[in-house]
Structure 1
């Protein structure tokens, strides 16, 4: 009887769990048995690995092979265990020394000819391996740029199973991951392209400075989509910690490329109204995959023609907007994905959406039904509601509109003030500050918030809405370079919530 051990990593959301793979080669009926709750793709790995081993010039053991994946109660998904299974079986068969596998995690799918294919989720897997005190990791060569983002590990890349076996037998070498070079992202669309719309431009600046959600309402062709596309360009670059968190989600979603292994700028995700609920918030059989809300983490999620999305999809956003995280329960467990994004919704005022509201031919009941597609609880979570003006001229203007660079400078300055103020509490933007903190530790004088008290007494404002008005007021104060919001800032914040046309 021969026994060997190796390591791989299982992913649950963006959390990785080290998996110990044991191989026992001994007497009995010739068979290969895989234990430890494998899914269909992993269960098929027995045949893939056998073919890869034979085509790499080695013989599969002609005895009973028992493979155990521990923790045994943890469901295992995907084909990323192939490389570890092949190496541990050959170590148990005394083809390679078993001690060479100590402290080494092996990640990769095997082709039938022994090539090591790229897999998703390499970055979160390596982070989990580092937390488990593993010292070496072997990944597919195309994943080396992504793997190089993780320090504290000796990361090697492999093209074939033969190379890995030779390296484990101390008869060859594998390329080592280097630190990826920072790639300057291409310039995005400029805010100077937007004609007119001073109120909407100001709302976009406030949203960028405080991390607030926005609703743009107006007829087609007024620049709603153009404004939304330019919001990400106003946001500051991601910090190293934020970039790793965003990149981990994109790695699991399979969106990274060797040329751009690190997401260093806030992502912009735009969806068509035909998007399914699973594509929006995440889903899938077995264990849920990340959706658009997670791919937009630390960036912007844009829903164009929001009223056409349907109630089921829009209402699924309510909890995500409050918590900044999505939890998806499926057969194989609960996957947690970060989802702290800025929501921008654009919608027409009615189904016919004429350039001028006076030309609307929709019956009043049809207009009400159309607006009711955005429910009150969802709108209560949107801080800035902005009506768009119809365009009146396309010619040259006397004062050219501000470019993105000028607005971004003010946004970065306001964000710095907010980050310094909330640093002791761990909040980065005004939108992240919980309501109790705004009403207790950072309470404003009663005369300053009296307008909110009147709105609450009239029933035109909810408690959640009052908290969001306070957050916007702090953002307006930051843009004005004042230490605390004034009554004018609170009134302006309340006006943003009342701007939706009746």
Structure 2
């Protein structure tokens, strides 16, 4: 009897391995068997597919033995993305569609009982994986296949963000069926109606119609020149930052404006960020090229931050890839959750291992932390007296471990402004003006060493961030007095390199001046100063 095979993709972390959907119809007792290491929601596709075909006015082979194999058999499959290829495979195997016409397409989509198509998560990484597959590229180049995608509304627009891909949007199963019925007709009779059942998503028009990213403006922040300077340095060098200050001082307001200071996302970075968001079901194609800003509540668990589950899904640190992870009330987060951030802060990736499954997600984000200096929040404040004892202050600040603080480049104190000063403060500098300086500083770093200053380490740190003799002595004196680790000293040098890039016109400046090191040293004293 009939045999049909169609192409789709599974999701395993950010990887999207190719899956062949094989459908066989044979004589025998009527049955519908689905094999190939399918998860629960995939096995439930049998009832969705049966109802969708019948309610679309098509013939379901009720008197046949139907076997569906999702190959390779050892690859886990989940979600309802295989509904559409399974349904089309049954129709092709039963002779209602021409099998040859399906060979040059890949399919993904969840079917409702009425036959309407619903969007699926991960459309963007699936299409990206198809473009990165060497065997697939070779087959396309030789003309063996011409890979095109048919996806539901929403998923089609998401996938069309990938350059040089052909994506069709289908709203209903019958739209896809009509497309291939017409495609099977002679050219002269179907030339004007080839795309009657589907609509092609034009990638160029889609990109042109997308709005420009919008962020809150730094001009709204009055006063706080030291904090504004620290944010500019952090943005220019890609450094992590911790703000310490009383309630209402403006820490959250400053953090919300950090993303606007960063340079626009490059295409590859935007695709990576959008792909991770698509895996978690959080991506909206209207937010294309917007820097992600994630601000989980302080009750978030370690799994919520780093990711997990079965199958593994990205956590907040991966959803913040190429953007900002803002942790307000930092000491209130569970200790295990904070300690889980240590490796991703260094490596920029997170590897999640579970029984039978593992996945790796990118996690190159900028950490912005905000905290009060004590439980009541007013230790060291000039506006209100603190009610906490020194022991309470020490215990509160002790919730942040030394290794975690070592990995945060900049620590600043954000003091609340007196009412008179706040009312008389002038409007601050705009985000656009600061972003132009940030972008220029980043370009200097890339021109000099090929990457941002936050990634300087080892020999690259010695080669591209040499200190003047006076600057070396200043750093040695400060490190000895403060008891800094080697990691903390290296981060001081990185921050000083960024300060020099912001202040100097020559990106090839040989030595970092003492003034740059002195300013960088001041950005490691916020917690220590309020605890004294």
TM-score normalised by the chain length of structure 2: 0.88
Quote the residue 2:173 is aligned against: 161
| Residue number in structure 2 paired with 1:141 | 153
- List runs of 5+ in structure 1 lacking aligned partners: none
CA contact (8 A) 1:147 1:177 kept: no
User: Structure 1 residues 330, 170: closer, same or farther in 2, change over 3 A?
Assistant: farther
Q: 2 CA distance for matches of 1:398 and 1:140?
A: 52
My pick for the range that moved more, 178-187 or 267-276, is 178-187
Report the equivalent of 1:298: 322
Q: Write out aligned runs for 1:22-101 (5 A).
A: 22-61=22-61, 62-101=63-102
Residue 182 and residue 325 in structure 1: after superposition, are their counterparts in 2 closer, same or farther (change >3 A)?
farther
Which residue of the partner structure matches residue 360 of structure 1? Answer: 386
Would the aligned equivalents of 1:287 and 1:331 in 2 still touch at CA under 8 Å?
no
CA distance, structure 2, for counterparts of residue 74 and residue 446 of structure 1: 59
* Paired position in structure 2 for 1:338: 362
The answer (yes or no) to whether the contact 1:8–1:105 under 8 Å persists in 2 is yes
Instruction: Name the counterpart of 1:372.
Output: 398
User: Structure 2 residue aligned with 1:248, among 262, 267, 275?
Assistant: 275
Instruction: Give the Cα–Cα distance (whole angstroms) in 1 for the partners of residues 5 and 98 of structure 2.
Output: 11
Corresponding residue for residue 343 of structure 2: 319
Give runs of aligned pairs for residues 95-494 of structure 1, distance below 5 A.
95-130=96-131, 131=133, 132-133=136-137, 135-170=147-182, 173=195, 174-179=198-203, 180=206, 181-185=208-212, 187-257=214-284, 260=286, 262-284=287-309, 286-354=310-378, 355-356=381-382, 359-392=385-418, 393-397=420-424, 400-423=427-450, 427=451, 429-440=452-463, 443-444=466-467, 448-454=471-477, 460-481=483-504, 482=506, 483-484=509-510, 485-494=512-521
Paired with 2:298 and 2:212, the residues of 1 have a C-alpha distance of 28
Aligned residue for 1:327, secondary structure, equals: strand
Give the Cα separation in 2 of the matches to 1:318 and 1:297. Answer: 16
Separation of aligned partners in 1, 2:445 and 2:318? 24
In the aligned structure 2, how far is the partner of 1:36 from the partner of 1:294? 29
Sort the Cα spacing of 1:436 and 1:43 in 2 relative to 1 into closer, same or farther, 3 A.
farther
Q: Secondary structure at the match of 1:11?
A: coil
CA distance in 1, matches of 2:323, 2:247: 25
* Cα gap change, 1:358 to 1:161, in 2 (>3 Å): closer
Structure 2 distance, partners of 1:120, 1:52, is 20
Q: Which whole-Å CA distance do the structure 1 matches of 2:416 and 2:163 have between them?
A: 53
Alpha-carbon distance between aligned partners in 1 of 2:284 and 2:261, rounded to the nearest angstrom: 25
Worse-matched range after superposition: 73-82 or 150-159: 150-159
Q: CA deviation at 1:152?
A: 2.8
TM-aligned CA deviation for residue 490 of structure 1: 2.4
SS at match of 1:15: coil
Deviation at residue 445 of structure 1 after TM alignment: 5.6
Q: Give how far 1:110 is off.
A: 0.5
Q: CA deviation at 1:394?
A: 4.3
The answer to whether the 8 Å contact 1:353/1:360 transfers is: yes
Residues of 2 paired with 1:186 and 1:419: CA distance? 24
Deviations along 1:233-283, one digit per CA (max 9) or x if unpaired, are: 11111011111111111222222335x0x5212122222212233322222
The structure-2 alpha-carbon separation of the partners of 1:325 and 1:42, relative to structure 1 and needing over 3 Å to count, comes to same
Q: Distance in 2 between matches of 1:335 and 1:26?
A: 38
> What secondary structure is seen at the aligned counterpart in 1 of 2:359?
strand
Residues 287 and 332 of structure 1 are in contact (CA less than 8 Å); yes or no, is this contact kept in structure 2? no
CA distance in 2 between counterparts of 1:151 and 1:409 reads: 28
1:464 deviation in Å?
A: 1.4
Structure 2: tracts of 5 or more residues without a match: 138-145, 184-193
SS for the counterpart of 2:182 is coil
Higher share of residues assigned helix: 2
Contact 2:296/2:327, CA 8 A, preserved across alignment: yes
Deviation at 1:345, TM superposition (A): 0.6
